[in-house]
A and B are shown apart, each in its own frame.
Chain A
Amino acid sequence: MKIVVLMKQVFDTEAKITIDGSGKINKQGVSLIMNPYDEYAVELGLRIKEKLKGDVTVVSVGGPEVQDALRQCLAMGADKAILVDPGTDDIDEFTTATILAKAVGSLEYDIILGGFKAIDDGSVQVCGRVAEILGIPVVNVVTQAEVEDGKAVATCDIDGGSAVIEVNLPAVLTAQKGGIEPRYPSMKGIMQAKKKPMQKIGLVDIGLDAAQIAPKVKTLSFFMPAAREAGKIVPGEPAEAVCELARLLREEAKAI
């Protein structure tokens, strides 16, 4: 089984977001983590490998700092990492998907996994776009999957419930929390990860030029949400307080 995992490095969930002097998101001093949903994708990949043999290649797009997250994937048990540096910050989901699809297209793959969303831009479209470019089916928001006989049977979230979907491989599956728990890298895994191959390449190495990855979406500006002000603490004993709260909700906030 040739398993590919698409991974993104993101800001830590505890990160405070600020905007710098040039109006962009301030990246200074923010700690970076593997996108939490991608951990589920790596875990799913490792479980498939353990069952059916094969190897797991993790592919990411970004600068040299992404190697930390890739090493974490290797420490969890992935076999090989590929990092494509786009050489520009001016990217959108179309850009990333184009690069990933081109990089993955030159590999052998039976199944491609990724997190169903990244917690930074939350745009939920890169993996789907990759599937479309490669001409293979996608199943999104997967909590559990079994791979057998060239097929994947996936349990996934749908509006108002869940569904079991079967697809022939190769296919793209995007992972959601809820079914499996990602493993922690073992000390042995961390040591081994240092020796595993990490390929760092640029656009030219996969035969892309800047024009082919030009973003479709143009960012106009970033801004912070209006700060919510602390409201009023409704005083009194519980019975009194809820009475007043109910009145406020109806008469002042008009929320009920």
Chain B
Amino acid sequence: MAKGIWVFAEQRNEEIKKVTYELLSAGRKAADALGEELCAVLMGKGVSGLAGKLGEYGADKVFVLDADVLENYTTDAYTNVLADLAREHQPTAILLVCSVSGRDLAAQVAQRLGTGLMTDCTDMTMEDGQLVFTRPIYAGKAFVKAACPEVRPVMATIRPNVLAADAPQAGRGAETVAVSAGAGDVRQAIKDIIKQISTRPELTEADIIVSGGRGMKGPENFAVLEELADVLGAAVGASRAAVDAGWKPHSFQVGQTGKTVSPVLYIACGVSGAIQHLAGMSSSKCIVAINKDPEANIFKVADYGIVGDLFDVVPLLKEELEKLLA
């Protein structure tokens, strides 16, 4: 009999990611509805001290796997450890973050456990006693509701910023279970890791994104957006047009052939609003469009628009927000 809702607690540089708390809060509700416990699985090196935080956000139990071999993510080490742990404890569900590593890990573990996996989910609900996941298809042009009715564990990766994290309860403890699991044969050898040197948040996790399109006219002009982004603590994004022109690397691209994002605030500057761009960002909570062309498609989805030259508007907006946030 499968028991327990599991959340894979994603951390980086010994800090729990905010989205982990979003998953714990959603997982807590599911666990209560099913009358099961909520477990967090914490993997890495030197991460034991983070277990307490997970309890404050709702975990009843924290499996801690602290080992040298888990310092950097590798597909095999993480898959072997998580799959073995799941085989031993037979959870009802395993929820992971829809990050690069979360997606990678989820697919391998799902196949090894012979189960179904729903990825990039934007909602998780309980319907007729089973977990139902909502996920975008065609990068959000449509959505599908799906479940995994027969096999356990149900697996899903959840997109950051879509589920609310409840406030932590100071002092709420969790049972910590230290597990010394073998990582097995690790076939991916890490030769080098190149960290992106950026003080800005990652695009898929950012609360605010300032994005530029063809209207930026050239790579040097992105400095205007970066200055605005830094006032807001925002990430910088780009449309396909700007990436294809070589102004920004592909990692900045928002849209169906780039990243799908759901920030609280998305500021589109000189972005026309091609259907494939809209697919990647229209689930943002608030959209601002700044464009010279009053007929631009982006205004059809924007909550607020300014018709004007972004090179006039954006620096003024930066100054205004700087005053407001000071």
How many Cβ-Cβ contacts under 8 Å join chain A to chain B?
261
B215 in the interface (beta carbon within 8 A) = no
Taking a contact as CB atoms closer than 8 A, the residue among A225, A231, A248 that contacts B282 in the complex is: A225
Residues of B within 8 A of A225 (CB): 140-143, 282-283
A188 in the interface (beta carbon within 8 A) = no
How extensive is the interface on chain B, given as a class? 35 or more
If over half of A's interface residues share one DSSP class (helix, strand or loop), that class is named, otherwise mixed; here it is mixed
The answer to whether A17 touches B190, judged by C-beta atoms less than 8 angstroms apart, is no
Q: Measured between alpha carbons, how far is A130 from B138 in the docked complex, in Å? A: 23
B163-192 vs A: 1/0 string, CB under 8 Å?
Answer: 000000000000000000000000111111
B279-307 vs A: 1/0 string, CB under 8 Å?
Answer: 00011011110000010000111111111
Interchain nearest-CB distance for B276 vs A (Å): 4
Interchain nearest-CB distance for B130 vs A (Å): 10
Taking a contact as CB atoms closer than 8 A, the residue among A138, A160, A171 that contacts B12 in the complex is: A160
Q: Measured between alpha carbons, how far is A162 from B274 in the docked complex, in Å? A: 29
Interchain nearest-CB distance for B91 vs A (Å): 16
Among B36-44, B45-53, B63-71, B312-320, which stretch is in contact with chain A? B312-320
Q: A25-B142, A128-B108, A228-B301 are in contact. Are A220 and B189 (CB under 8 A)?
A: no
Total residues of chain A contacting the partner, CB 8 A: 78
A94 in the interface (beta carbon within 8 A) = yes
Residues of chain B touching chain A, judged by Cβ–Cβ distance below 8 Å, are: 12, 72-73, 75-76, 99-101, 103-104, 106-108, 110-112, 114-120, 132, 136-151, 187-196, 202, 208, 232, 249-251, 256-257, 260, 264-265, 274-276, 282-283, 285-288, 294, 299-309, 312-313, 316-317, 319-321, 324-325
Q: Which 6 A-B pairs have the closest CB atoms?
A: A216-B116, A128-B107, A125-B107, A231-B303, A137-B187, A217-B116
27 cross-chain CB contacts under 8 A: A13-B275, A14-B276, A119-B139, A122-B119, A125-B111, A128-B75, A128-B108, A132-B112, A137-B75, A153-B191, A163-B192, A164-B190, A165-B188, A165-B191, A177-B250, A217-B116, A218-B147, A222-B143, A222-B144, A223-B145, A228-B303, A230-B299, A231-B287, A241-B306, A246-B320, A246-B321, A249-B265
In the complex, besides A217-B117, A220-B147, A243-B320, 8 extra interface pairs with C-beta distance below 8 angstroms are: A122-B139, A128-B104, A132-B112, A138-B75, A160-B196, A163-B194, A233-B299, A249-B288
